[in-house]
Amino acid sequence: MKESKRVKKVVLAYSGGLDTSVILKWLKDNYDCEVVTFTADIGQGEELAPARRKARAMGVKQIFVEDLREEFVRDFVFPMFRANAVYEGEYLLGTSIARPLIAKRLVEIAKSTGADAISHGATGKGNDQVRFELGAYALMPDVRVIAPWREWDLLSRDKLLAYADQHGIPVDYKKRKGGAPYSMDANLLHISYEGGILEDPAFEPEDSMWRITVSPQKAPARPERIELAYEKGDIVAINGKRMTPGKVLAELNRLGGRHGIGRLDLVENRYVGMKSRGCYETPGGTIMLKAHRAMESITMDREVLSLKDDLMPRYARLIYNGYWFSPERLLLQQLIDSSQSTVNGTVNLKLYKGTVIVTGRASKSDSLFDPRISTFDDDGGAYNQADAAGFIKLNALRLRIAANLKKSRR
């Protein structure tokens, strides 16, 4: 035990895999405490019943297995997409946005069960340790956090397997044989791949790595057209059919994956300071970003949109770095959500071989597009073109002053 204060009960974020199964036993042995397990379904596409059975077999009395897919999309993914958040120009934050929800439930379960600590399986090199713990401390300031990867010496797969064998912890056959040559993390927004053979940023992954998107070369030869309906910045219907947030994202994943949309291979800057190569599949999110910007283009004031674009990189960094529950993110969210009151209407898209093409956008109630003024034909006096001369001269004034000064110095 690393601290003098004894831990009585700890809530573990538990997947049922090798790492967290070893952690479960390790916590009991090293902290002599009761362990409560929490397993969240956030759309990772895995059967969760085995995790419950495994936890029960390892002597866990309080087991929480929860379907959080709708909450994940409604309260985390959708608010993030109202901001058009993109980290370092490309990454749609699929892993980052899932961590605050898990932290929130860890804390809520800790409070309801009387636990005095929480634990996670994030390593000491990654971003997730920061995201889990910043979220937990924001919601439960005095919570004790146990991060085994920062304490133990089981720093390789072989050592983990040896510990599992020593203590009779069942291990999936694929894990014992080595499994995939990289690590994966999945939720309803994306799948990420990193580590292993991907640690060489020059290595091109095999096409078989990708799980939810077909290769654009193998996508259908004919484009597919869809219509998305928006209310206050959120998608509420696809092709006229109203859906819940979780159903919306699942359907967009299906459509985007079928057409090879949403693959990304990048080197990003982790919050802890190192560069990391990751590959991501985000088919539904890629469609959502394109469509949302199209909807805003017709319904949002120019300067409001410009202000949002100025703030977006900072908002994205807050999410990436784990500050979802920070006062600054909450303040920005209020501003962003207020801006979405007019983002209502429909966007038409064409999905084709890895691309998302906007083919139309309309808003009956909130469109700022005035065809009388925008037309290149006779506008009947709606716009006086002669006014542009003064506008241009005033904007050119500082340029002319500087040019004249430069000319006088020759």
Residue 1, pLDDT score: 45
What is the per-residue pLDDT for 176? Answer: 55
User: Do residues 305 and 296 touch, judged by C-beta distance below 8 A?
Assistant: yes
The number of residues in the chain equals: 410
339 pLDDT exceeds 50? yes
- Identified catalytic residue from 74, 183, 326, 337: 183
Which one of the listed residues 15, 19, 82, 361 is annotated catalytic? 19
* Domain range 9-69+95-179, CATH class: alpha beta
Residue extent(s) of CATH 3.90.1260.10 domains in the chain:
186-300+343-362
**Cα–Cα distance list, 29 to 1, 6, 15, 57, 207 (Å):** 9, 13, 19, 16, 43
**Residue 309: enclosing H or E segment and its boundaries?**
helix 302-321
Closest by Cα among 334, 279, 346 to 308: 334
pLDDT of 257 over the 80 cut: yes
Check residue 178 and give its pLDDT.
Answer: 56
C-alpha to C-alpha distances, 80 to 288, 318, 352, nearest whole angstrom: 11, 11, 26
CATH of 186-300+343-362, one of 3.20.20.70, 3.40.50.300, 1.10.287.1770, 3.90.1260.10: 3.90.1260.10
CA distances from 322 to 11, 97, 187, 197 (A): 20, 9, 17, 27
Tens of pLDDT along 262-276? Answer: 999 999 999 999 999
* CATH 3.40.50.620 boundaries in the chain: 9-69+95-179
Question: Known catalytic residue: 19?
Answer: yes
What are the tens digits of pLDDT across the range 4-33?
A: 579 999 999 999 999 999 999 999 999 999
Q: What is the mean pLDDT of residues 140-152?
A: 97
- Residue 179: what pLDDT? 60
Question: Exposed, middle or buried by CB within 10 Å (0-12, 13-18, 19+), for 240?
Answer: exposed
Residue 389 has pLDDT above 60, yes or no: yes
Q: Virtual CA dihedral for 368, 373, 374, 376, nearest 10 degrees? A: 170
Task: Give the Cβ contact number of residue 6 at 10 Å.
Answer: 10
Q: Of 128, 192, 276, 363, which one is the catalytic site residue?
A: 128
Percentage with pLDDT > 90 across the chain: 93
Q: pLDDT digit string (tens) for 149-197? A: 999 999 888 899 999 999 999 887 455 565 667 889 999 999 999 999 9
Q: What pLDDT is stored for residue 181 in this prediction?
A: 77
Classified as helix, coil or strand, 240 is coil
CA gap 363, 230 in Å, rounded: 9
DSSP of 197-214, one letter per residue?
GGGSTTPPPPGGG-SS--
**Helix/strand/coil for 351:** strand
258 is catalytic: no
pTM as predicted: 0.95
Tokens of 308: 């949002």
Question: Rounded to whole angstroms, how far apart are CA atoms 11 and 34?
Answer: 9
Type of residue at 87: Y
Q: What share of the chain in percent tops pLDDT 70? A: 97
The residue from 69, 82, 99, 105 that is catalytic is 99
Q: Parallel, antiparallel, or unpaired for β 144-146 and 191-194?
A: unpaired
Please give the sequence-ordered ranges of beta strands (E in DSSP) within 270-375, or none if there are none. Answer: 275-281, 345-352, 355-362
Active site residue 128: yes
pLDDT digits (tens, 9 = 90+) for 310-333: 999 999 999 999 999 999 999 999
**Residue 388 burial (CB < 10 Å; 0-12/13-18/19+)?**
exposed
Closest CA to 231 of 71, 365, 66: 365
- Neighbouring C-beta atoms of residue 73, cutoff 10 Å: 27
Minimum mean pLDDT range among 166-170, 202-206, 263-267, 346-350: 166-170
Tokens 């599992």 found at: 164
Q: Residue 13's closest CA among 158, 172, 148?
A: 148
Q: For strands 355-362 and 345-352, give the pairing.
A: antiparallel
Please state, in angstroms and rounded to a whole number, the distance separating the CA atoms of residues 31 and 119.
Answer: 12
Round to whole Å and give the CA distance between 87 and 312.
9
- Mean pLDDT along residues 127-140: 98
Three-state SS for 80? helix
Task: Quote the mean pLDDT of the chain.
Answer: 95
- Identify the DSSP state of 90: T
pLDDT at 3 over 70: no
Minimum mean pLDDT range among 34-38, 60-64, 157-161, 186-190: 157-161
Per DSSP, the residues of 330-347 read: HHHHHHHHHHGGG--EEE
Residue 297 is among the residues annotated as catalytic for this protein: no
